[in-house]
Amino acid sequence: MRNTLMTVLDHVAPLTSSVEYRVVGTAASALHGARVPVGDIDLLFRDRQSMDCFAAALATLPAAECLFPPAWLEPARQYFARYLVNGALIELSTIETETQSDTRECIGRGPWEHYSWVDCGRHRVPVVSLELRLLTELRRDRPDRFGPITEHMRQHGCNLELVRRGLPNVGGGMPEDRQREVLDQLSGVARRI
C-alpha cells in the first residue's frame, strides 16, 4: 500500500500542490501504524474541482488504469472515481453531506480539523486522525479493524475527548457496554500531542 501511494504521489504531487485531500479508510489506519488489513487507498477531497485536478494528474501515470471515471453518485451524495495502480485500488471521492459534527471521518469538518502529517517515502501525507478511524470502524462493527486501532492508540496515545464525543454519534444503536469497553481500554492513555 505504501509503495503504491508513493508511486501515485511521486507522479501527481508536482501537478497538484494546491489540492487539499486526506488519506482516509484502512490506508489511513495503516499509515498511522495500526495493524489492519488494507483493501484499497481512499483519498477524500474537499471539493470536486480538487478531485478533478488530482484525477487528471493520476490519469497521466502510465501504471494507472481508470476503472470508474469521476462521476456524481446521487444516492451516496458523493463525487467518486476509481483507479487501479500496480494492482492496488485507489478511490477518490468527495462526500457532500452536511453535518455540524467534527467526529465523522469523511463527512463535515472532522477530516479537515482532525488529521496529522505522516511520512510516506519522500512525501508528507495528510492522514485523517486515528480517533475518527476508530469511530468509523465501531460504527461499521468491524472488530478486525477497531481492535488493532484501539491497541495502537493504547500504546501511542490518543485524543480521548474526541473519541468520547464521537461515541454517541456512532449510530446503529452501538450498545452502551461496548462504548464503555472502548473508553475503559483507552482511559489513562496520554493525549497524543
Per the structure, the count of domains in the chain is 1
CA dihedral for 48, 163, 147, 31, sign (positive or negative)? positive
Average pLDDT, the chain: 92
At 107-160, the pLDDT tens digits run 999 999 999 999 999 999 999 999 999 999 998 888 899 999 999 999 999 999
Q: What pLDDT score does 172 carry?
A: 64
pLDDT surpasses 60 at 184: yes
User: Would you say residue 51 lies in a domain?
Assistant: yes
Dump pLDDT digits (tens) for 50-62: 999 999 999 999 9
Query: Does residue 83 carry a pLDDT above 90?
Result: yes
10 within domain boundaries: yes
1-15, 120-134, 163-177: which range is least confident on average?
163-177
Q: What pLDDT does residue 190 have? A: 62
The DSSP line for 97-153 is: ---S-S--SSSTTHHHHSEEEEEETTEEEEEE-HHHHHHHHHHTT-HHHHHHHHHHH
pLDDT of 34 over the 80 cut: yes
Confidence of residue 81 (pLDDT cuts 50, 70, 90): very high
Is residue 93's pLDDT more than 70? yes
Give me the pLDDT at residue 123, please: 95
Q: Is the pLDDT of residue 37 over 50?
A: yes
Q: Is 170 helix (H, G, I), strand (E, B) or coil?
A: coil
- The string over 117-134, giving b where at least 16 C-beta atoms fall within 10 Å of a residue's C-beta and e elsewhere, is ebebeeeebbbbbbbbbb
Q: What is the CATH number of the domain that holds 139?
A: 3.30.460.40
Is residue 20's pLDDT more than 70?
yes
In the predicted model, what is the mean pLDDT of residues 74-80? 94
pLDDT the model gives residue 143: 87
Supply the pLDDT for residue 193. Answer: 45
User: What is this structure's pTM?
Assistant: 0.93
Domain-located, residue 67:
yes
119 touches 129 (CB < 8 A): no
Q: How confident is the model over 89-116, as a mean pLDDT?
A: 94
> Residue 145 falls within a domain, yes or no?
yes
Separation between Cα atoms, residue 168 and residue 127, nearest integer Å: 24
Is residue 193 in some structural domain?
no
Domain extent, residue 27, equals 2-186
Q: Which residue has the higher pLDDT, 99 or 90?
A: 90
Per-residue b or e along 150-184, where b marks 16 or more CB atoms closer than 10 Å to that residue's CB: bebbeeeebbbebbbebbeebeeebeeeebeebee
